Structure 1
């Protein structure tokens, strides 16, 4: 197709006007049928686009001849040879059912590694193990998910889950929580979001990202880090309805706290301190008023049973007798004291039976234990004398808890001492219902 274009010529003598018609060629779809790499151009009808060279060229003068000239250029020929030399990826086309089964097996194994928090390096040995375990399986023979592929699959899974999470946050309300890590090398502030999941029908919490804070850990920088984490994913700040963190001044301070700076961007933001932190502080203050230290008692019980096979056997017998679960005595860290305390309360009666069933031990009967007399130099210490005398009549009348608040297994004063062994302290503690 050609378009007419009129051109006027002017002479200086008689100013005679002469009209000349000029024809311009436009792009024709037949070019793509002949040359598949030639496509329409966004510049207009007088241009064509080459998908191999990734460039536009004019076809207004020669039309099809312009296309032929472009194909004969050195640049285009080099691109053609480069494309022919590259092999096509098999997974870009339609994969067979066998290949899909192998891919599914590799994804399932990657989920297994993530769910059980296994090191990615263990995947280097998985393929060899599966081929030995299942020599007749065609899927096991083609399984090849080592650490490189496992890491790639994990990255794709993370992208997919993050896209779903971000899409949910864009369309609904959510809350944000963050807290600084104790990592000495970098300052990590994980951003955790809580939202309502329509699929699960309940409120869920997920880690959105774990950004690294550069600079000082001030309220301004922490607030800017949280805002940047949301804005970089095109999440509306208005959808964030609450902010939760610990009760440190840098987080919820009225002047320069992170919550104060977040409220400048989100005026309707509700700030909630960490309830677990407050409960922990209250429990810590309450535990200081107890007549003994619970953690020390639990440790004493562990060592009392751990160092004797006979006591372990006796414990199992009395656990069966008292119809309680037979469980192993395990040394417990501080963060698991709640679980150890529950197990101790359930098995307190059995432990008392174990100790009472061994009368030949010194700790079996407190009635036969006599506190050494105090010297005159130590008679001024009334608190120690009250504690020692209270132990003597512990089997006759209850001892006020205030008298045992600061009881220690070995209290020395002057040249005399008031000593109680671990077994004696445990029996005294376990036989009192108030302590339980």
Structure 2
């Protein structure tokens, strides 16, 4: 029977380190070819940092954003998070070219914008913005008169008074207040 040889811890570490160095060199070569990951040193340990979502990805595909970690991306068209640490950009392009993504993207392209159904900003409730401001001023004056128990007959004098006092204000120039209008509000 052959004699059993006791191996020291140093011998085991050297054998393990040699195997790790060979693997590290193979991975470094693959990384240099693809250019998709970054190597960093941390206290003598080698590790691969996972690829991160680059700005060029979001400019190329505006619907792609970073997922929960840098190894994932979020596709807002499919509303799902996918893994991209394997091949990086290729993972995303493969997803975008896939049947599932294209099927979900097609209805989005054929939908018209909802903006056409909104009333332009120049009008509020069928009135122009200036008319809305004037109406608001009229209501505020009527509410103040009610709160302070001012007779409605005084409202007949407000319209000409505001127009004369505030000549440069389009709101004051459009202000119309009379006792009959005050009673209606």
Larger radius of gyration: 1
Query: TM-score of the superposition, structure 1-length normalised?
Result: 0.19
- TM score, norm. by length of structure 2: 0.42
Q: Which has the higher contact order (CA 8 A, sep 6+)?
A: 2
